[in-house]
């Protein structure tokens, strides 16, 4: 693994640099955890304060699309995990293939989410779009607003992840990143993607499974 590693001057050995890279990424993802965590904690609080309205609102969310999407994201994480494993073994083609599969699954997720939003809009669940559903009059309205904020914020992160994977696939395919020495590039991209997956793992039960 040591070949091709470019060691920054503040590090004595590649292993030390590697551990620092991982720590930096974990800390960054910690800040993201606080961003999403605060929002999701708020949803739990709202569910406790308005149990009936939240459950009623949740029953209007498309649970089967979301379940399929969870499976899609978990599978994309597997593809990324394979890409990272291949990167560590210097298997360039498998890295690119794994990233492409993960990107296709990520785009499938966004496609399904868009289809779901369209149905939500047609039912008047979103603020200011179409004829408002009767549910937008009561406390269910804020549950829907939180749902739209959280899922959109997640979709933005997922789009960033898609961009990262596209970039990683390109630099690996063009041999700008040399494996296995610079596998850290794929490892860090993978960490971000898995984090986006974990966020969805919590978004799914907190909104969709709040049916009471």
Contacting residues toward other proteins, per CB under 8 A: 19, 22-23, 26-27, 29-31, 33-34, 37-38, 41, 44-45, 47-49, 63, 67, 70-71, 74-75, 77-78, 80-82, 85, 89, 187, 190-191, 194-195, 197-198, 201-202, 204-205, 209-212
Alpha carbons 6 and 31: distance in angstroms, whole number = 28
Which one, of 36, 38, 33, lies nearest residue 203 by Cα? 36
**132 versus 204: smaller Cβ distance to other proteins:** 204
Q: How far is the CB of 75 from other proteins (least distance, A)?
A: 7
Query: Using CB atoms within 10 A of its CB, is residue 210 exposed (0-12), middle (13-18) or buried (19+)?
Result: buried
Q: How far is the CB of 204 from other proteins (least distance, A)?
A: 7
Q: How far is the CB of 195 from other proteins (least distance, A)?
A: 8
**127 versus 205: smaller Cβ distance to other proteins:** 205
Please report, for residues 27, 61, 152, the alpha-carbon distance to residue 23 in angstroms, rounded to integers and kept in the order given: 6, 37, 28
Kindly provide the b/e burial profile for residues 54-84, where b requires at least 16 CB atoms within 10 angstroms of the residue's own CB.
bebbbebbbeeebeebbebbebbbebbebbb
Q: How far is the CB of 15 from other proteins (least distance, A)?
A: 10
Q: How far is the CB of 79 from other proteins (least distance, A)?
A: 10
In angstroms, how far is CA 56 from the centroid of its own chain?
A: 27
DSSP label at residue 174? T
**79 versus 126: smaller Cβ distance to other proteins:** 79
**45 versus 160: smaller Cβ distance to other proteins:** 45
Question: What region does 4 belong to: left with phi over 0, alpha with psi -120 to 50, or beta?
Answer: left
Give yes or no for a contact between 166 and 186, defined as CB atoms under 8 angstroms apart.
no
**67 versus 122: smaller Cβ distance to other proteins:** 67
Q: How far is the CB of 52 from other proteins (least distance, A)?
A: 13
**11 versus 22: smaller Cβ distance to other proteins:** 22
């Amino acid at each position: 693994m040591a070949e091709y590693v470019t060691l920054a001057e503040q590090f004595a050995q590649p292993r030390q640099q590697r551990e620092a890279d991982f720590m930096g990424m974990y800390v960054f993802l910690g800040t993201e955890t606080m961003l999403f965590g605060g929002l999701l904690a708020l949803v739990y609080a709202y569910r406790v304060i308005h149990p009936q309205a939240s459950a009623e609102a949740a029953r209007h969310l498309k649970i089967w699309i979301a379940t399929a999407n969870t499976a899609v994201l978990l599978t994309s994480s597997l593809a990324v995990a394979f890409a990272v494993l291949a990167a560590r073994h210097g298997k360039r083609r498998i890295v690119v293939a794994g990233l492409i599969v993960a990107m296709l699954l990520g785009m499938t997720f966004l496609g399904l989410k868009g289809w779901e939003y369209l149905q939500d809009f047609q039912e008047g669940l979103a603020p200011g779009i179409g004829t408002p559903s009767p549910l937008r009059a009561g406390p269910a309205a804020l549950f829907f607003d939180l749902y739209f904020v959280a899922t959109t914020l997640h979709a933005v992160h997922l789009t960033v992840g898609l961009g990262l994977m596209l970039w990683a696939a390109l630099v690996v395919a063009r041999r700008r990143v040399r494996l296995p020495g610079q596998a850290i590039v794929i490892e860090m991209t993978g960490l971000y993607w898995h984090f986006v997956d974990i966020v969805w793992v919590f978004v799914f039960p907190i909104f969709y499974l709040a049916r009471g």
